[in-house]
Amino acid sequence: MAERYEICKNCRFWAGLGKVGLCRRRAPNALPDSGAVWGTGGAVWPRTDEDEWCGEFQLTEDLARDKRMAEYEKELEDQNRELKKYLDRSMRIASSQRLGSEHA
């Protein structure tokens, strides 16, 4: 099975702190006041492990650029392969025409 790359550590919204981090896709979750002292509440972002995932994943800019570059390189390889086929076919045709004119 191929390694899944749509995971937290590769997401533009993830702030990694080692193998765990904070998801900053949305505003932090509010914590209620403790009741003992007013104003003791706060807010936290969800903590996730680096290999978790969700449906709102977005590649980091570096990985997005790498992915686009890999797609571009594959496209160039495909074009080069097609060009080589065309050139090989053209050379065979030219060669057969040359042989045909020599024997005429």
pLDDT in tens, 5-58: 789 998 989 999 899 999 999 998 888 766 655 555 678 889 999 999 998 988
pLDDT in tens, 47-90: 999 999 998 988 888 777 777 777 778 888 888 899 899 899 98
4/27 Cα distance (integer angstroms): 26
Q: What is the pTM of this model?
A: 0.51
